[in-house]
Amino acid sequence: MLSQSAPKPSASEPPTHSRRRAPERRHGGAWKVAYADFVTALMALFIVLWIVNCSQQVKQSVAGYFRDPRGYTLKLGAGPANGGEGVRLHPRDAGDLKKIVEQALRQMPDYQRLRDNVKLSVTGEGLRIDLLENEQGMFFFSGSPNPTSAGEHLLQVLAGEIGKLPNQVIIEGHSDALPFRNAAPERGYSNWELSADRANAARRSLHANSVRPEQVVEIRGFADRKLLFPETPASPRNRRISLVVKFTGE
């Protein structure tokens, strides 16, 4: 009886042990970290080279942003809040400032009551902010150069935004055409004095709330010489304080 033996593998068939797959080698991700570090360092180098070749004004703006990023507003200057550094207000940037001031005003609790009496417009001289009175005296007590609490609060909000700029500011006082307590032009306390005194009262309030002394360059008292509504010269809305943030020629 012949013994049966296991069949021998053919010459073309590899041994069984050679069929086993070698374990896969997994490459680590360390190279990705090193590459990211390299790209970051390269970008930092380009930024430094760019800053070195920039003007002093741009350098101050960049430095101001990193010193006080929360006090930095788009196109309005960097630097610490109220530091007067950074990019000056040009006519092309007036729309941005107008939007920023409007946004700050909307944060006021009583903005809905005041909004019809606050007018913002861009003129050839700069951004003009007019605070229009009503019959009862919204921002100043009627017949008085003293601001009301609403007037003080509004001036405080405006000062917070204007004080961030290096631009010069003009403050104007206007009255309606009604004689003040029947004062004659040659004697007594007239609309001329009242309009100038209100402008100065607004100036003092701005200085007490972030506007630097050197920013205010003019105080103007016009009485009723520049009525906002000439068709109704007695309208209380002709009584107003105007803040003009001047454009710079630089």
Residue 162 has pLDDT above 50, yes or no: yes
**96-109 tens-digit pLDDT:** 788 888 888 898 88
How far is 130 from 187, CA to CA, in rounded Å?
Answer: 29
- Global confidence as pTM: 0.63
What residues contact residue 239 under an 8 Å CB cut-off, 6+ apart? 132, 133, 140, 174, 175, 176
**71-87 tens-digit pLDDT:** 444 343 333 333 344 44
How far is 141 from 198, CA to CA, in rounded Å?
Answer: 10
Residue 9 has pLDDT above 90, yes or no: no
Query: Quick one: pLDDT at residue 76?
Result: 38
Q: Of 59-63, 123-127, 207-211, 228-232, which range is least confident?
A: 59-63
Q: Of 2-6, 100-104, 174-178, 195-199, which range is least confident?
A: 2-6
- Answer with the residue of higher pLDDT: 242 or 78: 242
How far is 174 from 187, CA to CA, in rounded Å?
Answer: 19
Give residue 23's pLDDT band: very low, low, confident or very high (50, 70, 90): low
Query: Quick one: pLDDT at residue 250?
Result: 47
Q: Of 87-91, 203-207, 240-244, which range is least confident?
A: 87-91
Task: For each of the domains in the chain, give its residue range(s) and CATH number, in order of start.
Answer: 46-87 (no CATH), 89-246 (3.30.1330.60)
Q: Are strands 118-122 and 126-132 parallel, antiparallel or unpaired?
A: antiparallel
In this structure, what token pair is assigned to residue 97? Answer: 């400032």
Other beta carbons less than 10 A from residue 72's beta carbon: 20
- Residues 157/170, Cβ–Cβ less than 8 Å: no
The average confidence (pLDDT) of the chain is: 81
Report the interhelical angle of 191-207 vs 149-162 (nearest 10°). 60
